[in-house]
Amino acid sequence: MNKKSSGQKPPLRICHLADAHLGYRKYNRLTKGGLNQREVDVNFAFQESITRIIALKPALVLVAGDLFHAVRPSNATLAFAFREIRRLAEHSKAPVVIIAGNHETPRRIDSGSALQLLEEIPGVYVAKECKERFVFAEEGVAVQCIPHAALTQEPRVQVRADDRVPWNILVTHAQVDDSWVSDFGGVNFPLGSIVVHEWDYIALGHVHIFKQIGLNAAYSGATEHTSLNIWGEADRNKGFLEVALPGPKIKFHALTSPREVVVLERIDAGGLSPENLLSAIADRIATARGGIEGKIVRLELVRVDRESFKHLDHKQLRALRAPALHFALDIHYADRPEVVVLPVGRKRKLIEEVRELLQQFPLQHSSAGDVEGLILKYLRQLEGADEASDTHAP
Ligand SMILES: [Mn+2]
């Protein structure tokens, strides 16, 4: 019986989340229990999303990748994820489908995936490596999963919707266009490479802000501020999606627990005395609505004179910054080019950009070649960092 053509498709309500990045650590602020404060924040936000999803009573829950921040999460992170996913499956009674994102995908298949532990929970379905399709007859829905590793294969993975099932959903973790980049390491997967309209909904992970793509696809965004450049997403809420079919009608639920990120308006320090610069900083901090206590704050100072910065009252400056969980003071000195604008042209490799940048800087103590070698070394270390150790890369 083809329900699709008979027009009697039963309504379906789904919750879609992604990019929880459990195990993310940043800054050296610890909780009373000795845990990294940001790791605890990330757990809180995830817990809030699970509690709120349970309350919404969806028929299906989708986790579109990067549940874990690293290939080998700590034992504490694994135990926390296990408990929360089990709570979700038990209390919602909805099937929970999880796919692997780039952060939790090992480069070597024999490393195994941390996600396989979650497969042991009844009602939880995991696509770690290959494309996989889960059909839930009772809910009348087929969920086609394309985890990160399946997208890296050549030739490109092929997927088609199944007409015999009332609802067809696609879940993947990738960069579908270049309009917003939150994180590197994802595969470029233009939606033009699939038949977009045959899917009732396409649940995306990888971009850390809520973003609807066309009529039937969306990024839910991350559940906390875990992007490489958190300042660029400071004013965007973190949350998850409730998606109702037919439609899809997509509703964003903003979480209340993510820590606030504040980007203060930059200060032009050109010509300011040390005293005036300090009071300008104090004034700027006073503009933060609700203060800066416990928040993650950034303030840029431009055209700073090295001598007057040295004579700043640093004790007072420390006192001004102290209430924040983390206060990034980004200083651009007057005797350095503030921003180097590279010519716009074809897309190039990062190292090519670096090479060009180096040519524009007068280097005093080392050659451009040495610096380039060093940068290349660090880039490679960064690439291998997730996998190389049990500890977390900065
Ligand atoms: Mn991510």
Q: Amino acid identity of 303?
A: R
CB atoms within 10 A of CB 389: 11
Pairing of strands 132-136, 141-146: antiparallel
Write down the pLDDT at residue 392: 38
204 CA to centre of ligand 1 in angstroms? 11
pLDDT digits (tens, 9 = 90+) for 98-130: 999 999 999 887 888 999 999 999 999 999 999
Write down the pLDDT at residue 375: 76
131 CA to centre of ligand 1 in angstroms? 19
d(CA 29, CA 40): 11
294 CA to centre of ligand 1 in angstroms? 24
Beta-sheet strands, E only, within 216-351: 217-219, 239-245, 249-254, 261-263, 267-268, 296-304, 326-333
Q: In percent, how much of the chain has pLDDT > 70?
A: 86
CB atoms within 10 A of CB 346: 4
d(CA 271, CA 304): 8
380 CA to centre of ligand 1 in angstroms? 20
CB atoms within 10 A of CB 27: 14
192 CA to centre of ligand 1 in angstroms? 22
Tokens of 1: 């019986």
Write down the pLDDT at residue 108: 81
104 CA to centre of ligand 1 in angstroms? 10
87 CA to centre of ligand 1 in angstroms? 23
332 CA to centre of ligand 1 in angstroms? 30
Nearest to 226 by CA among 64, 23, 386: 23
pLDDT digits (tens, 9 = 90+) for 14-32: 999 999 999 999 998 999 9
The length of the chain is 394
Query: Are residues 145 and 157 in contact, defined by beta-carbon separation less than 8 angstroms?
Result: no
227 CA to centre of ligand 1 in angstroms? 7
For residue 180, the SS3 value is coil
Write down the pLDDT at residue 358: 67
177 CA to centre of ligand 1 in angstroms? 15
Question: Which residues neighbour ligand 1 (ion) by CB within 5 Å?
Answer: 19, 66, 183
Helices (H), 166-221: none
Q: What is the pLDDT along the chain (394 residues), one digit of tens a residue?
A: 444 444 678 999 999 999 999 999 999 899 999 999 999 999 999 999 999 999 999 999 999 999 999 999 999 999 999 999 999 999 999 999 999 999 999 988 788 899 999 999 999 999 999 999 999 999 999 999 999 999 999 888 999 999 999 999 999 999 999 889 999 999 999 999 899 999 999 999 999 999 999 999 999 999 999 999 999 999 999 999 999 999 999 999 999 999 999 999 999 999 999 999 999 999 999 999 999 999 999 999 999 999 889 999 999 999 999 999 999 999 999 986 555 555 554 555 666 666 666 666 656 556 666 777 777 777 767 665 544 443 333 3
Tokens of 350: 């990062």
- Whole-prediction pTM value? 0.84
Write down the pLDDT at residue 93: 97
Write down the pLDDT at residue 262: 98
103 CA to centre of ligand 1 in angstroms? 7
50 CA to centre of ligand 1 in angstroms? 18
Query: Are residues 197 and 210 in contact, defined by beta-carbon separation less than 8 angstroms?
Result: no
Could you tell me how far CA 110 lies from the centroid of its own chain?
A: 26
Query: Are residues 150 and 131 in contact, defined by beta-carbon separation less than 8 angstroms?
Result: yes
Residues ≥6 apart with Cβ < 8 Å to 89: 95, 96, 121, 122, 123, 124
Write down the pLDDT at residue 384: 58
